[in-house]
Amino acid sequence: MSLDDRNYSEKRDFIRMQVQTKAIMEHAGQQYPALCLDLSSTGMQLEVNAKLAVGERVRVLIPSEHSALKGLEADTEVVRIGENANGNQTLGLAIISMR
């Protein structure tokens, strides 16, 4: 990757935090265990064993490890899909609303 490519790829409107935390994805009445790879104020990336398409809407729940803090619950839309070597999908999700 050239220096110009790296500089461009690092220009984001919102900081993306690498989180690597357990999550639950809800789609079509089913729950799927997932791993949240990163999170920003406008989206997130999940790894999940499911087969979705761009444009589908899913709810994501990230439970809090602390009883005094509420977990994250968001309605999202799939905007990007990748596939890992293990067959899981890596989903780029745009946050539509927070609950």
Q: Which helix (H) or strand (E) holds 1?
A: none
Q: Is the pLDDT of residue 27 over 70?
A: yes
17-27/72-83 β-pairing: unpaired
Q: 56: which 2 tokens?
A: 């589908």
List, in order, residues 6 or more apart from 30 with CB less than 8 Å away: none
Q: Which residue matches tokens 């619950």?
A: 73
Q: Give the Cα separation of 56 and 77 in Å (integer).
A: 6
- Check: CB of residue 61 under 8 Å from CB of residue 48: no
Q: What CATH number was assigned to the domain covering residues 16-98?
A: 2.40.10.220
pLDDT tens digit string along 79-94? Answer: 999 999 899 999 999 9
DSSP conformation letters of 11-27? --SSPPEEEEEEEEEEE
Domain ranges of the chain: 16-98
- Give the pLDDT confidence of 34-87 residue by residue, as tens digits: 999 999 989 999 999 999 999 999 999 999 888 888 899 999 999 999 999 899
Global confidence as pTM: 0.81
